[in-house]
Structure 1
């Protein structure tokens, strides 16, 4: 077949095979559960502003969920609730 010729009807085009990089470590899947709570309105406004500004500047974390998890993790770890 020529380089620019599409495959015939009885031929199948093959996609390149994905080869994982052995140096990439797989992170364990994190499950999430719904959690509903109320927070101070000034915290909510600041959190929303931080999220939007970080998205505009291409900074991570930018999602509200990720910002909250980053804030909660050290608090939980230092108090022995999370290992």
Structure 2
């Protein structure tokens, strides 16, 4: 008996006002005004929070998550934690 190979594909639907996760991550990484360790910490935290949404099956919260990480205030929050 032959087993069928199954693959899962996750397609993110985002509101026009919020960026797609890939574009947001690249924009954070390309911000040369910030130290590299800070940029990496923000990207890692975003990826972690996104993974939590996926595991909890709360993908409807992704737009809020992207909006939260797309604010200038995000840098202050991470600088105080470092």
TM-score where L is the length of structure 2: 0.28
